Every structure is written in C-alpha cells, then in structure tokens.
Structure 1
Amino acid sequence: MYTLLLVDDEQEIRSGLSQYFPWHEVGFELVGQCADGREALQFLEKRAVDVLLCDIRMPILSGLEVAQQLYERKSGIKVVFLSGYKDFDYAKQAMTYGIQHYIVKPTKYTELFDVFSSLKLEFDEATARDTGQSEVQSASFNAQVIAAIQAYVESNYAKATLEEAAGIVHMNPHYVSKYFKEKTGENFSDYVTAVKMARAAELLRDIRYKTYEVSEMVGYSYAKNFTRTFKRVHGVSPREYRNNYEGTRD
C-alpha cells in the first residue's frame, strides 16, 4: 500500500476526496490532510509519503511552490495537482518540476482512478526493479498488459479506442499511449489501423461483401477514408486488391 497526503485549502474538497474515493482499491492509503502548502511541508518533515495530491493555488504557500521545493530537494515524491483553473501556464510551469499529472476540478471518479492506477503501476515496477525481481516479473507483467490491450483491439477493432483499452488494464489513457509505444515500438493508433486493414483484406477476399460494406465492418463511416487508408497500408486500392486476389485464383 502506497501512502498519500491530500493538500487543499477547501475543507469540502478534502472531505469529499478523503471520504468518497476508494483509495485502498487503487493501492493507496490516505495518511494525512493539510490546508495549505506550509502545513504540507511541515507534515513531510515528520513523515515521508509516496504521493502528494495538492491544489495548485493555495494561500500562504501554493502548490507550485511546494512542488518546486520538493523538486529542488530531490525528494522523489510524486505530485498530482488539483486545480479549478484550466490554465496552460500553470500546467507548463508544473512540468518544469517533473509534474506529470494535472487534474481539473471538479474531480471525476474515473480520472482519479486512472491517474492513481497508473501511479501504482509505476511504483510497482520501480519496487520490482529495486528488489531485483524485475528481469522476470516485470517483463511478464508487461507482456500480460500488452497482450490484454492487443486482445481488446483484435476483438473490437471497428470501435476500439485508447480510452477503452486503458480501462481494460486500469491505466490512464495518456499513460497507456506512452506505455504501448515504449513496449511495442508502435503507436496505439497505428496498431489499431494495422488490425483493421488486416481484417479488411480478409473480408475483401470474400466476394459476398461489397467494398463499402467492408469499410463499415472495420469501422469506417466514409468509404473514401477507408480506401485511402487501405491503399497506404497495402499499396493498392481495395478494388485492386480484390481483383488481384481473384486473378490468383484463376
């Protein structure tokens, strides 16, 4: 179980997040609550935590100032920002302190679940590496995750989305995108397209289906988009592919 400190100057938000989100289900224990940045730093002097869920704007000491101090101290604490301000400048500044997650208020259950599930995965992998178990266990775990994502795409290629794939493996969609690329060397969207086009080629070899029907079956509403993508992948148009296939059967 990883530890979490909640920091927000609004009592209602602290109460809501502490009481109504199932932290234990995603592998975290809420060990404290603070009303401002100074109080948070004082708490951290007495007890280390794994994650700081922190409002970006607070009186006395802002979340950004807390993140800056932790960054300069090389504390290793992961910081997740909460903010009611959809302000790119804040998000941009947060990145300079190594902040990867930025949640806009009012918080959504699914977003919290995705962010903290991905954080747990990061911690699990780091723990495995540190204990010398990563060569086999981490590789096996990664293989299982990638296999689950690929199985989802192969079964749902017509309507497959990154968000649904992320839900299958309980990860944040943005993290899954980077994770899939890192582990397979291929973008998730390119993999989906490849699966669609492989299936389209199979369907085109069946003369019962018209080209526009194949287009719809693999998830393309517009036949022109399907034709353009098919030609890019296979080097010929769907009609040419079918004619060439028929020619090899004669």
Structure 2
Amino acid sequence: MYQLLVVDDEVSSRNILATCFPWGELGFELCGQAGNGKEALEAILSGIVHVVFTDISMPVMDGIDLAKAISDMKGHKPLVVFLSAHDDFKYAQEAIKYGVRYYALKPSSFGELKEIFGRIREELDEKYQVNTSFTGDHSDKTMKKVLEYCTKNYRDGSLADLSQSMYLNPSYLSQLIKQKTNKTFSDHILEIRMKQAAVFLKDPSIKIYHVSSMVGYVNSNNFTRAFRAYFGITPTEYRNRMGNQQ
C-alpha cells in the first residue's frame, strides 16, 4: 500500500476525502491528515509518505508553499496532487516548477479521483518496480490519449480542455507532448485539421468556406493562410490539382 496524506484546512472536506473514498481499492492507505502545509511537512518528515493530496488555499502555509518545500527536500519526495476550488489554470505554471503534475477540482467526483490516483498508482508501481509485468510506459499511455483527443476534437479542442479531462497540469502536459513528439499541442491540432481539410477538398460539392468551418476555422481567410503555410498551395489550387489527377 502506498501512503497517502490528505491536507485541507476545512475539516469536513478533509474527513470526506479521508473516509468516503475507497483508497484501499486503488492501493493507497491513509497515513494521516493535516490542516495546513506546515502540519503536512511535519508528517512527511516523521514517516514515509508517497502522495500528498493537498488543498491550495490554506492558512499558515498554503499548497504552493508546501509543494515548493517538498521540491526542495533531499532524498525521497512524495508526489503532490493539488485539490483546488478554482476552476482555472492560474496556478499551473507556478505549480509545475515544484513538480506538481496532477490536480483535482472541488468537489471531486469518484470518477475523477479514481482516474487521477489510478495514474499515480501506475507511476509509483513503475518507479518502485512493484509490478514487474508492467511493460507500458506511463507517458506513452498519456500520449496515446492526447492523440486520440486531437483526432476527435480537432475542430475546437484546447490544451486547457484536454488537461482538465486528463486531470494533469497543463504546463506539464504541454512539455510532455513536446518532449515525446517534438511537436506542440497546436502543431498536432493543425496537422489533423489540414489533413482533414484535404480530404474534404476532394469533394467538389463542398464549398471551400464550408471546408473552413468544418475543420474549425471561423474565418475562411485564416483557413486559407494556414492551408497554404502547411501545403504550400491554396485550398483552391489544391482542389484544382486533385481534379486534374482524377
């Protein structure tokens, strides 16, 4: 069992997280609770903690300062998961500096926590070689989901939406995509848009401005510029060439 520390200044919220979620089913054991970052650090220093599930806004020491203190520790460092009532990403850039890659929004559903801590369990299993039959790479699984998302949501997908759906820090996810594929999230969206546009353009019954809208462009001029930058020719020139080859 991996040791989990729950940190939240709201006692009722902390107790619900600690007692109402079946942590044992995911391989975690609650090793303690803390009301702020200072208390959490004391608990971490007094025993083994693998994961710290912490609120961000707290008195004495908030979640950001706690994450920073953990990142500065020598030797074993627990993973940090943020619990935030703020449905935005204003903490993302600051959080990733201190190694925070996972977060959940208040109130968290069973499904959200199961997804997040399932990922963390895989990561810890791989780190500690608990499951020797585990051959998949966590980041590769993440990239598979990224590419699936881009393929399904190329018209209006966003990094913010993707990050939230995967319960990952958007800055971390952006860096991971670039590291694993040598392309940005926007590059992947653009590539899929352009390839799909090329398919639509082969049908002469579809107006070019309709193709523009079908692949997510509100302004057809922006679509034309993007298409020419990608293929080296305009949508009209591409359609004419395809027509001549038939």
- Distance change (3 Å), C-alpha of 1:7 and 1:220: same
- Distance change (3 Å), C-alpha of 1:38 and 1:200: closer
**Cα distance between partner residues in 2 of 1:166 and 1:67:** 20
Contact 2:57 2:63 in 1 (8 A): yes
Classify the secondary structure of the residue corresponding to 2:204.
Answer: coil
For residues 40-80 of structure 1, the C-alpha deviation after alignment (integer angstroms, 9 at most, x for no partner) is 34433443111122345655666566555544441312234
Which of residues 178, 197, 203 is equivalent to 2:194? 197
For residues 108-162 of structure 1, the C-alpha deviation after alignment (integer angstroms, 9 at most, x for no partner) is 548766654554454344335x98878xx245x6555434443443344334444
**Cα distance between partner residues in 2 of 1:148 and 1:14:** 31
Where does residue 127 of structure 1 map in the other structure?
Answer: 128
Asked if residue 216 in structure 1 is aligned to residue 213 in structure 2, the reply is: yes
**Cα distance between partner residues in 1 of 2:90 and 2:143:** 34
- The code of the aligned residue for 1:9 comes to D
Which of residues 176, 181, 185 is equivalent to 2:182? 185
Q: State the aligned residue count.
A: 242
- The code of the aligned residue for 1:204 comes to L
Where does residue 76 of structure 1 map in the other structure?
Answer: 77
Deviation at 1:191, TM superposition (A): 1.1
Contact 1:163 1:173 in 2 (8 A): no
TM-score normalized by the length of structure 2: 0.72
Deviation at 1:183, TM superposition (A): 1.7
Where does residue 50 of structure 1 map in the other structure?
Answer: 50
TM-score normalized by the length of structure 1: 0.71
Unaligned runs of at least 5 residues, structure 2: none
Deviation at 1:192, TM superposition (A): 1.7
Q: Following superposition of structure 1 onto structure 2, how do residues 144-159 of structure 1 map, counting pairs within 5 Å?
A: 144-159=141-156
More helix by share: 1
Where does residue 17 of structure 1 map in the other structure?
Answer: 17
Q: Indicate the RMSD between aligned Cα atoms, in angstroms.
A: 4.1
Contact 2:85 2:107 in 1 (8 A): no
Contact 1:82 1:102 in 2 (8 A): no
Contact 2:103 2:169 in 1 (8 A): no
* Identity of matched residues, %: 35
- The code of the aligned residue for 2:242 comes to Y
- The code of the aligned residue for 1:34 comes to A
Of 156-165 and 26-35, deviating more is 156-165
Asked if residue 100 in structure 1 is aligned to residue 97 in structure 2, the reply is: no
Asked if residue 247 in structure 1 is aligned to residue 233 in structure 2, the reply is: no
Where does residue 8 of structure 1 map in the other structure?
Answer: 8
For residues 193-243 of structure 1, the C-alpha deviation after alignment (integer angstroms, 9 at most, x for no partner) is 111111211221221211112222222232222112111111111112112
Of 19-28 and 74-83, deviating more is 19-28
Deviation at 1:11, TM superposition (A): 1.0
Where does residue 227 of structure 1 map in the other structure?
Answer: 224
**Cα distance between partner residues in 2 of 1:154 and 1:29:** 38
**Cα distance between partner residues in 2 of 1:195 and 1:25:** 39
Classify the secondary structure of the residue corresponding to 2:124.
Answer: helix
Contact 2:8 2:35 in 1 (8 A): yes
